[in-house]
Structure 1
Amino acid sequence: MGRAEERRARQRGGRRAAPRDRSSQAAPHEPRADSAPAAEGGAHSAAGGRAAARRSTRKGGRGAAGGKGAAGGKGRIRRLFTWKKVLGTFLGFTVLVIGAFIVLYMTTPIPDTANADAQLQSNVYKYSDGNLLTRDGKLNRENVDLADVPKPVQHTFVAAENKTFYDDAGVDLKGTTRGVLNTVMGKGAQGGSTITQQYVKNYYLTQEQTVTRKLKELVISLKLDREKSKDYILAGYINSSYYGRGAYGIQAAAQAYYRVDADKLTVAQGAYLAALLQAPSQYDWAAASPTGKKLVQQRWNYVLDNMVEKDWLDKSERDGMKFPVPQEPKAAPGQEGQVGYLVKAANSELEKQLVAQGVADSSQEAEAMVSAGGWNITLNIEKKKQKALETSVKDQLTSKLDKKKRPVDGDVQAGAVSVNPKTGAVVAMYGGVNYVEHYTNNATRTDYQPASTFKPVILAAALDQGAVTQDDEKISADTIYDGTSKRPVVGSDIGFAPQNEDDVDYGDVTVQTAMNQSINSVFAQLGVDVGMDKVLKTADDLGMDTADLKAVPAQTLGTMGASPLQMAGVYATLDNHGRKVTPTLIKSAENSAHAVKPADPIGEQVITRKAADSVTSVLTGVVDDGTARKSVLDNPKRNGQKVAGKTGTSDDNKSAWFTAYTPDLVTSVGLFGESAKAPHPQVTLTGATGLIPGKGRINGGGYPAQIWASYTFGVASKVSRFDLETDQGAAVRPSVTASPSSSPSKEPSEEPSTTTPSAKPSKSQTPSQTPTTQEPSEEPTTQEPSEEPSTGEPSTEPPENPLDPQFGQ
């Protein structure tokens, strides 16, 4: 056959299927009997195969034997999820949702009256035994007409919360949808509500986090926007919002923060009040942390910049504005003494619990819920211990202050927190001389340095991590370090050579002695040996806030901020053998809709028991043979009670601390130098109570330790001993204290070492076990000599009686 005939044969085979060949069924491997050429037969076979495949696919992919092929399952899926069915389902669901929304819209009216939460009720606060502490909740609200609020001030609220307020339909569909989905998934809602929605939620509905409430909020907001003017809605919003300080509405807020009526507010003041609505407690200037003050200023700038963007404020006028610092708050009646501090601290803790448990979306909403009233709150505060702590502060400190005679006495602030280490319960709290006179709670403020009370954290990190010295010797209480003042630390990328207090050179000393005498140079080297990142990690595990701290050697001096509440938690964790203790003020809280019980204050093991117990053992040396000796060891009420603790004095004597514990009670006492004159900067405590100016530092071993001892030994029901699993430290053998090194640059405050200083930390060696024989002087001096090393400039003169251990480091 020629090529042309072959081509025609293939073409004929491609146009029609080959006839069935019975002979092909007889023997699959035998040649066909007809005389058709092989090429043509091949073409017919291929065409027949393709046709058979198509028929098989249309039949669902059944094979020759009648079984299901792999394509069968895919075919059913394609038939089940065809584009017509998917589109039909989607359209059906959409119609159903629209129909349901129409029904909800038709059946949900705008309420005629405000919700029950808008009618403020009293909160009831009780001691741990159920006895009444106080009630609060008197309504502080006075509605004003929008016409009485300057137009630029009105614009500050729109600029802060909802720039599209005058143009939108009253709702943010994207934000509402996100809130509904988060509620369904148990994640809590996000921001994004319009002014209209916020007004509806605050005034007509409740704060509960349910899908029904959110849908009602959406419907009522749409209706309200259609039926009422924007001015009506804005007036309702600024009159119903909570601004902090117990103030509901702009008139109450204007009085609370600036002592003026709403019609006298400036644009700058209005911008601050508008900024407050995001976080009233956090942004209240009188009580805000440094971070809170920074954030509210950023928010204030944001509001004004938005006003410029919307042409509501001239840029030149905006550029000339200064932040309007609010006036000091006035406490509500019934909040005098310590009551106001306790109420405020309890409210703050409850608000955090409401957010943590998903009852409230945000801190702002939680604060509004608590301020709305109706809560029955039982605190862990024990009435007897609370009274004893107040009495101790008065007897040991405030009764000796005379600000008329000595202006510096008016700058002394005291704060204290007492915690049960076994339960985490805050059993007593001292926030200041009087809530109606000093609004800031000194027990919870975090803006002062804890100073040398941080040193036990460094030792805890060393023992827990199994750290070693520069000579590769494992660190223990007996490790020898060079206590020379201003000695550069070895192994740090950052140069650091801290000065000991009064520039005393101690020479070679053990870690135990360094803790007793609070030697800066030793703990700076110790921190570098451990690794400052590990030290800060341990501090965070123990309960301090180290999130924004840099891991630099200077942190070994306790230069970060901390509160007595935080430090009580750190030491309670040590007392609890390394198991985390989170101080908790609230025992229980409930209202008609919610019951809140705090999470277990006792957490997981954050450092090993051996490390925690070893630190406790070392800290007994501070009391028995160190800077707290006179105030604690020789206190006639001690009666043999075992005590572990640490003193602290910060840079320029702006704060003085004593945080210490028995097996059953942990108490942190802090004294803070705060100017009595606004804006209340930090100032020195030196010279207060008549101590010699320039020499008479108020040290942790003085008034703070005296307050601690008077309180602790006064409420102790029994003498107890520490149950320690350790073989090191002063609690298991006498601590070592030597004489000062030859030729110290200043007289030592306490009992320094006799050994010769080395150029760098030496290897571990066995120290002498000879205990200190120095007896304390019988009578206190008229001043407080030096305590532990200050982080500031050295004193120009040594204390008059440096060996008097009544007032130690």
Structure 2
Amino acid sequence: MGRAEERRARQRGGHRAAPRRRRSAPTAGATGSAGAPAGAPAGGKPAKSFIRRLFTWKKILGTLFGMCLLVILAFIGLYLYVDIPAGNAAAQLQSNIYKYSDGTMLARTGDLNRESVDLSEVPKDVQHTFVAAENKSFYHDAGVDLKGTARGVLNTLMGRGTQGGSTITQQYVKNYYLDQNQTVSRKLNELVISLKLDRQKSKDYILAGYINTSYYGRGAYGIQAAAQAYYHKDAKDLKVQEGAYLAALLQAPNQYDWALATDTGKKLAQARWNYVLDNMVKQNWLDAGKRQAMTFPVPKAPKAAPGMKGQTGYLVDAANVQLEKQLVAQGKANTLGDAEALVRKGGWTITLNIDKKKQRQLEQAVSEQLIGKLDAKKRSVDGNVQPGAVSVDPTTGKVLAMYGGPDYFKHFTNNATRRDYQPASTFKPVILAAALADGATTQDGQPITASTVYDGTSGRQVVGSKVGFGPPNEDKQDYGPITVQTAMNKSVNSVFAQMGVDVGMSKVMDVAGKLGMDTKGMEAVPAQTLGSMGASPLEMAGIYATLDNHGKKVTPTIIKSADHKDSSITLPDPIGDEVIPRTAADTVTSVLTGVVDDGTASKSVADNPARDGQQVAGKTGTSDNNKSAWFTGYTPGLVTSVGLFGEDAKTHAQVPMTGATGLVAPSGGPGRVAGGSYPAKIWAAYTFGAMGDVSKFDLDTTQGAAVQPTYTPTPSSQPTPSSKPSHSPSGKPSTSTSPSHTPTHSPTQSPTQSPTQTPTQTPTQTPTGTITDNPLDPGGGQNFGQNAGQ
């Protein structure tokens, strides 16, 4: 039948649509016996593959439905099986026991600082601060955050750590009925108990329980204890802005505590405080106009807990901080706040690395060399001097002694671990270490070694910097051409500013981080060569311990062991891999012996009669405006960093220490507290009594001299930018670069390679262009670091 006939036939039959066309017939060789394609069934339809027959839509949907049904049934079973347990928060609290390294008792803590109050005693707007901070949907949710809980369970199963997101009800259940352990079973129990609690108890009951059982830091459990700890008032008298700060604390009690927080921590605390109040405005719980008028309520100074008198509180706090960090690192706590709560809950036996004898010797050295000379009644500045010190074994990383301040009851902040003061010139060895480790050269291609000659003119502008920077030397003294060794001995700012740029400040800060300095957020700018960042005695002791340990990383650790009946903690090895080559580390050590024998520490350390021939390496530091003074030094077996910090006794602001103990400058005015004075004296009094047998450094170095070189470049006239030192070794230091005194003792370290050649390199040039703006120095670099250097 042709197409025309076929069409007419369809029209007669009432069909308007054309029939579906058949596919072209296969070739004869591709058909089966019935004319169907080869491999196809007789009906002509292609055969389904095994995978398609196995995974049909019906089977997939059926499987998913079955799995969902099983999960629902399992949850119903869990819901029926799990009951709301009796509260255990108070019952589980025990004492913590702290011991010296020899096992003798240091302290026992555990008195619970908690006082529950009825919700009616807490102002309504203060109640709202906690809801605004943690769970805005609290008043109308079912007590759980299914999405957040599922995410937490999944992260725990996959080993990704943990995260927040729980409701107030869930957090209360965790605090009061369960524990802080991050396990799947605990999270599921938390979910079920929260659902049941929300059905059986009122929202006010749950909120009251939450704010009365949460940990706020400073040893305070509950809002009443927190109100007393931070604002010295009862909870009923709290203002809304004070309540907002307490609510903000719950996210990170230790980090946000104003007395302990770093600058970053304070910014985060204020940001959280703003977040709480802004949420209250959005929820119509706070008038927007009143919100705008509110200022941040700075908390009161903390009060020490009973039994923490003297140095004990500092040691216990330092041990707790290290333990809390390990709990987070090992996944046993979600946040530092949770970790702190776990530690405060008690049941720990913590043995410290603190050597009882060395601890006593350090305390005695500070008392005899400094505290006994301070008289705040006679001189107000004496009341502003805060000492801190840390002593470390460089071969093991053990913190053997720590001095945190005059008394934990009188000064809560631990001066040994605070890092808000500049380390000043104690940072210079890091610059040299970076140069030696990287094989850096000067601007004219000369390798940087202890014998390299630089221009030591005070205030000279560094070459190669994108910003203008020309720091003055101490007392604006000009040195002219000077070797790196002498520049380290004399702590010449202009030399190390140029060296930092020669090496590359990014490389300098990278090496600083490898050695143990916390460089997060630090800018790699020339101003850092003056040690203008913040650092703690603990941090500087670790850096110098790494140098003493021939470049192998030393992370000071105060904890020897930490045991708990419900948890085991494995402490990391304090001794790590080599972070800079041994020759670089040993060369820095060699150079630093010159600071002691012929430099800024010679009077207090080298000439000390108790030295008895002991080899010593170290560096002094005196910060801008004399707000801090340092000496960090070491023998082959003991590293100690001593810092003095000027802190206003009332406002806690940083202030100069000039004139303390009645020091008088040569001009007749108040004298500066330099790193070579009391810090070095404390160091020497402690070290020479605690070091044991006299020892020698085992150094692998072919660079540099261990003491003042036998010559110093002496120009015939003031050098010009293109001039070279016009001299030959004279065998005698020039007047401008000779030590301030002639050593009366033999050098403690002979040069491994005596300089025999005439220095030929050109002192680094002074730029011919104009001074550019330095964002760190509004004065164009001329006044930055004034009086800093020693």
2:332 equivalent to 1:359: yes
Displacement of 1:764 in angstroms is 13
Choose the corresponding residue for 1:686, options 648, 658, 667. 658
CA deviation map 1:384-407 (0-9, x unaligned): 111100000000001100001000
Letter in 2 for 1:691: L
Query: Is the 1:415–1:564 contact (alpha carbons within 8 Å) kept by the matching residues of 2?
Result: yes
Q: Which residue in the other structure is 1:88 paired with?
A: 62
Q: Which residue in the other structure is 1:544 paired with?
A: 517
Q: 1:118 to 1:769 in 2, by over 3 A?
A: farther
Letter in 1 for 2:347: G
2:227 equivalent to 1:244: no
Displacement of 1:271 in angstroms is 0.4
Task: Judge which range, 498-507 or 82-91, deviates more.
Answer: 82-91
Letter in 1 for 2:375: D
Displacement of 1:759 in angstroms is 2.5
Q: Which residue in the other structure is 1:504 paired with?
A: 477
Choose the corresponding residue for 2:50, options 59, 76, 79. 76
Partners of 1:102 and 1:760 lie apart in 2 by 87
Query: Is the 1:471–1:762 contact (alpha carbons within 8 Å) kept by the matching residues of 2?
Result: no
Q: 1:348 to 1:544 in 2, by over 3 A?
A: same
Query: Is the 1:477–1:728 contact (alpha carbons within 8 Å) kept by the matching residues of 2?
Result: yes
SS in 1 for 2:79: helix
Q: Which residue in the other structure is 1:303 paired with?
A: 276
Partners of 2:309 and 2:162 lie apart in 1 by 37
2:498 equivalent to 1:525: yes
Displacement of 1:234 in angstroms is 0.1
Q: Which residue in the other structure is 2:193 paired with?
A: 220
Q: Which residue in the other structure is 1:350 paired with?
A: 323
Query: Is the 1:485–1:504 contact (alpha carbons within 8 Å) kept by the matching residues of 2?
Result: yes
2:721 equivalent to 1:759: yes
Q: 1:473 to 1:344 in 2, by over 3 A?
A: same
Query: Is the 1:484–1:504 contact (alpha carbons within 8 Å) kept by the matching residues of 2?
Result: yes
SS in 2 for 1:658: strand
TM, length-normalised to structure 1: 0.86
Partners of 1:191 and 1:220 lie apart in 2 by 18
CA deviation map 1:430-457 (0-9, x unaligned): 0000000000000000100000000000
Partners of 2:243 and 2:211 lie apart in 1 by 11
Task: Judge which range, 688-697 or 238-247, deviates more.
Answer: 688-697
Letter in 2 for 1:665: L
Q: Which residue in the other structure is 1:195 paired with?
A: 168
Q: Which residue in the other structure is 2:601 paired with?
A: 628
Displacement of 1:793 in angstroms is 3.6
2:308 equivalent to 1:335: yes
Partners of 1:250 and 1:121 lie apart in 2 by 21
Q: 1:45 to 1:677 in 2, by over 3 A?
A: same
Letter in 1 for 2:456: G
SS in 1 for 2:331: coil
Partners of 1:644 and 1:61 lie apart in 2 by 94
Choose the corresponding residue for 2:702, options 720, 724, 727. 727
Displacement of 1:792 in angstroms is 3.5
Q: Which residue in the other structure is 1:564 paired with?
A: 537
2:679 equivalent to 1:707: no
Q: 1:469 to 1:15 in 2, by over 3 A?
A: closer
Aligned residues: 732
Displacement of 1:207 in angstroms is 1.4
Letter in 1 for 2:658: T
Partners of 1:235 and 1:765 lie apart in 2 by 82
Q: 1:256 to 1:52 in 2, by over 3 A?
A: farther
CA-atom RMSD in angstroms: 2.8
Q: 1:214 to 1:506 in 2, by over 3 A?
A: same
Q: 1:180 to 1:481 in 2, by over 3 A?
A: same
Query: Is the 1:114–1:204 contact (alpha carbons within 8 Å) kept by the matching residues of 2?
Result: yes
Q: Which residue in the other structure is 1:23 paired with?
A: none
Q: Which residue in the other structure is 2:440 paired with?
A: 467
2:121 equivalent to 1:151: no
Q: 1:719 to 1:756 in 2, by over 3 A?
A: farther
Partners of 1:432 and 1:735 lie apart in 2 by 39
Query: Is the 2:719–2:725 contact (alpha carbons within 8 Å) kept by the matching residues of 1?
Result: no
Q: Which residue in the other structure is 1:8 paired with?
A: none
Q: Which residue in the other structure is 2:298 paired with?
A: 325
Choose the corresponding residue for 2:352, options 371, 379, 401. 379
Q: Which residue in the other structure is 2:589 paired with?
A: 616
Q: Which residue in the other structure is 2:639 paired with?
A: 666
Q: 1:82 to 1:545 in 2, by over 3 A?
A: same
Query: Is the 2:96–2:109 contact (alpha carbons within 8 Å) kept by the matching residues of 1?
Result: yes
Letter in 1 for 2:663: L
Query: Is the 1:500–1:519 contact (alpha carbons within 8 Å) kept by the matching residues of 2?
Result: yes
SS in 2 for 1:206: coil
Highest CA radius of gyration, 1 or 2? 1
Partners of 2:359 and 2:686 lie apart in 1 by 10
Partners of 2:92 and 2:192 lie apart in 1 by 23
Q: Which residue in the other structure is 1:448 paired with?
A: 421
Query: Is the 2:453–2:483 contact (alpha carbons within 8 Å) kept by the matching residues of 1?
Result: yes
Letter in 2 for 1:685: M
SS in 1 for 2:405: coil
Partners of 2:599 and 2:34 lie apart in 1 by 101
Q: 1:722 to 1:755 in 2, by over 3 A?
A: farther
2:65 equivalent to 1:98: no
Matches within 5 A, 1:106-145: 106-111=80-85, 113-115=86-88, 119-145=92-118
Q: 1:262 to 1:773 in 2, by over 3 A?
A: closer
Query: Is the 1:480–1:764 contact (alpha carbons within 8 Å) kept by the matching residues of 2?
Result: no
Letter in 1 for 2:695: S
Displacement of 1:116 in angstroms is 5.4
2:616 equivalent to 1:643: yes
Partners of 2:360 and 2:395 lie apart in 1 by 22
Partners of 2:493 and 2:21 lie apart in 1 by 100
Q: Which residue in the other structure is 1:717 paired with?
A: 692
Matches within 5 A, 1:152-191: 152-191=125-164
Q: 1:321 to 1:757 in 2, by over 3 A?
A: same
Q: 1:210 to 1:730 in 2, by over 3 A?
A: same
2:571 equivalent to 1:607: no
Q: Which residue in the other structure is 1:56 paired with?
A: 39
Letter in 2 for 1:390: E
Matches within 5 A, 1:284-303: 284-303=257-276
Q: Which residue in the other structure is 1:32 paired with?
A: none
Letter in 2 for 1:78: R
Partners of 2:35 and 2:334 lie apart in 1 by 65
Query: Is the 2:459–2:494 contact (alpha carbons within 8 Å) kept by the matching residues of 1?
Result: yes
Q: Which residue in the other structure is 1:67 paired with?
A: none
Partners of 1:304 and 1:3 lie apart in 2 by 82
Displacement of 1:323 in angstroms is 0.8
Q: 1:252 to 1:559 in 2, by over 3 A?
A: same
Q: 1:248 to 1:737 in 2, by over 3 A?
A: farther
Displacement of 1:55 in angstroms is 5.7
Query: Is the 1:60–1:75 contact (alpha carbons within 8 Å) kept by the matching residues of 2?
Result: no
Query: Structure 2: any 5+ residue segments left out of the alignment?
Result: 6-19, 745-781
Query: Is the 2:115–2:224 contact (alpha carbons within 8 Å) kept by the matching residues of 1?
Result: yes
Identity among equivalent pairs (%):
68
Query: Is the 2:391–2:401 contact (alpha carbons within 8 Å) kept by the matching residues of 1?
Result: yes
Q: Which residue in the other structure is 1:652 paired with?
A: 625
CA deviation map 1:727-767 (0-9, x unaligned): 22332x6535759x89xxxxxxxxxxx97444379699986
SS in 2 for 1:166: helix
Partners of 2:117 and 2:459 lie apart in 1 by 64
Query: Is the 2:389–2:537 contact (alpha carbons within 8 Å) kept by the matching residues of 1?
Result: yes
Letter in 2 for 1:688: A
Displacement of 1:537 in angstroms is 0.4
Q: 1:295 to 1:768 in 2, by over 3 A?
A: farther
Q: Which residue in the other structure is 2:239 paired with?
A: 266
Matches within 5 A, 1:390-429: 390-429=363-402
Q: 1:471 to 1:370 in 2, by over 3 A?
A: same
Displacement of 1:286 in angstroms is 1.2
Letter in 2 for 1:80: L
